[in-house]
């Protein structure tokens, strides 16, 4: 009786027929796939923790595995349901050509997504700058990437932007990066005193790295400008996502320190020289 139920054909069109048995097998493959994906996620998470694999790379490997397993699963399910992919593709060749032209950008984004996941140049949690906008990568999908900028706005960016355009990854090779705060002082200032004040301000900021070899704050004299002697306070920080806040805190500290020590921040000025002499008006 059970055999008859399983072999019962729900409908039949020409040479194609769909039985209860085919649907049951397809359902089992679907459930098995979900189980494999969930089990892999747990096992891979434990292994990654033991081997200190960073979260971004974990996410990339997990996503690639899921895409691969689900692709195999879908092909298997379609085969169990009696759907011949070769016939479907052959009969809809013209439609696929049209879709291919229309979805060319979409395919480019998907290919770019695969490249990103394999290369690992951009990973979940990275601080990047694209088109002048700085933000944190929250999720990388096959076609798009979820990106949150400093204004806490979520941007959905097509993956081809990260492959074809120039992108700065502030956190790819190291967890700290170098930044600068430019400042100009009066020509009457003691330059060594100015240098020491700037260094003191940097060392007193909790977001400035001060204890790493080769990555301590420094002061660079950039130029003798028209109205000021121009310096840049160079420093390293791990607070890359909120670095503008750190720069603002440094500017406040510099302003207060300059005020206390009588260091002047000049504004642009020009000297006007008037020549005295005889003016004569000729009759017209």
Q: Has residue 260 got a pLDDT over 90?
A: yes
Q: Is the pLDDT at 280 greater than 60, yes or no?
A: no
pTM as predicted: 0.61
- Looking at the structure, tell me whether residues 153 and 183 fall in a common domain: no
Shared domain for 191 and 220, answered yes or no, is yes
Question: In terms of Cα–Cα distance, which of 18, 80, 81 is closest to 9?
Answer: 18
162 and 204 together in one domain: no
Residue 100 in any domain: the answer is no
Euclidean distance between CA atoms 192 and 47, whole angstroms:
54
Same domain, 204 and 247: yes
Residues 188, 250: one domain? yes
40 lies in some domain: yes
As a whole number of angstroms, the distance between CA 250 and CA 252 comes to 5
Tell whether 106 is covered by a domain. Answer: no
% residues pLDDT > 70 (the chain)? 81
CATH number of the domain encompassing residue 204: 3.30.70.100
Strand order in the sheet with 167-169: 154-158, 144-149, 133-140, 127-130, 167-169
202 and 134: one domain?
Answer: no
Task: Give the number of other Cβ atoms within 10 Å of residue 261's Cβ.
Answer: 13
Give the pLDDT band of residue 193 (cuts 50, 70, 90): very high
Highest mean pLDDT among 1-5, 46-50, 210-214, 224-228: 224-228
Asked if the structure places residue 115 within a domain, the reply is no
252 band by pLDDT with thresholds 50, 70 and 90: very high
* Cα–Cα distance for residue pair 185/193, rounded to 1 Å: 11
Per-residue pLDDT, 108: 80
**Is the domain of 69 the same as that of 126?**
no
166-192 pLDDT, tens digit each: 888 888 777 788 999 999 999 999 999
User: For residues 244 and 249, what is the distance between their CA atoms, to the nearest angstrom?
Assistant: 9
Residue 96 maps to a domain:
no
Residue 54 confidence (pLDDT): 61
- Range of 212's domain? 177-261
173/215 Cα distance (integer angstroms): 14
Phi-psi region of 120 (alpha: psi -120 to 50; beta: other; left: phi over 0): left
Same domain for 243 and 187: yes
Number of separate domains in the chain: 3
Instruction: Decide which of 131, 153, 169 is a domain's last residue.
Output: 169
Query: pLDDT value at position 258?
Result: 96
Task: Report the share of the chain in percent with pLDDT over 90.
Answer: 31
CA proximity to 123, closest of 133, 132, 113: 113
E strand or H helix at 184: strand 177-185
pLDDT at residue 184 in the model: 95
Identify which of 185, 189, 182 has the alpha carbon closest to the alpha carbon of residue 232.
182
Distance between CA atoms of residues 277 and 232, nearest Å? 46
Largest interatomic CA distance in the chain: 128
CATH of the domain at 141: 2.30.30.60
Considering 169, 203, 228, which residue would you say is the last residue of a domain? 169
State the Cα–Cα distance between residues 265 and 163, nearest whole angstrom: 44
86 and 134 together in one domain = no
**Are residues 247 and 203 located together in one domain of the fold?**
yes
Asked whether residue 278 is assigned to any structural domain, the reply reads: no
Residues 155 and 194 in one domain: no
Evaluate whether residue 273 is within a structural domain: no
Quick one: pLDDT at residue 175? 79
Q: Is 61 helix (H, G, I), strand (E, B) or coil?
A: helix
Q: Tell me, yes or no, whether 271 lies in a domain.
A: no
């Amino acid at each position: 009786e059970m055999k008859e139920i399983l072999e019962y054909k729900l409908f039949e069109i020409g040479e194609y027929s769909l039985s209860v048995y085919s649907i049951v097998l397809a359902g089992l493959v679907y459930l098995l796939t979900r189980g494999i994906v969930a089990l892999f996620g747990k096992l891979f998470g434990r292994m990654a923790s033991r081997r200190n694999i960073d979260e971004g790379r974990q996410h990339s490997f997990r996503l690639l595995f899921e895409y691969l397993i689900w692709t195999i699963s879908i092909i298997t399910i379609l085969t169990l349901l009696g759907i011949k992919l070769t016939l479907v593709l052959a009969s809809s060749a013209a439609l696929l050509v049209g879709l291919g032209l229309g979805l060319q950008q979409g395919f480019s984004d998907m290919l770019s997504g695969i490249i990103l996941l394999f290369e690992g140049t951009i990973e979940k949690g990275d601080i990047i700058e694209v088109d002048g906008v700085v933000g944190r990568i929250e999720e990388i999908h096959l076609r798009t990437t979820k990106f949150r900028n400093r204004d806490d706005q979520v941007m959905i960016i097509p993956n081809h932007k990260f492959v074809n355009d120039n992108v700065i990854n502030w956190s790819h090779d190291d967890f700290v990066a170098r930044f600068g705060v430019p400042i100009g002082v009066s020509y009457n200032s003691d330059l060594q005193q100015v240098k020491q004040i700037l260094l003191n301000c940097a060392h007193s900021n909790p977001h400035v790295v001060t204890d790493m070899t080769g990555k301590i704050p420094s002061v660079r004299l950039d130029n003798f400008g028209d109205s000021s002697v121009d310096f840049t306070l160079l420093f390293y920080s791990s607070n890359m996502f909120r670095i503008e806040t750190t720069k603002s805190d440094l500017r406040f500290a510099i302003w207060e320190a300059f005020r206390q020590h009588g260091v002047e921040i000049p504004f642009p000025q020009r000297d006007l020289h008037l020549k005295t002499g005889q003016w004569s008006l000729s009759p017209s």
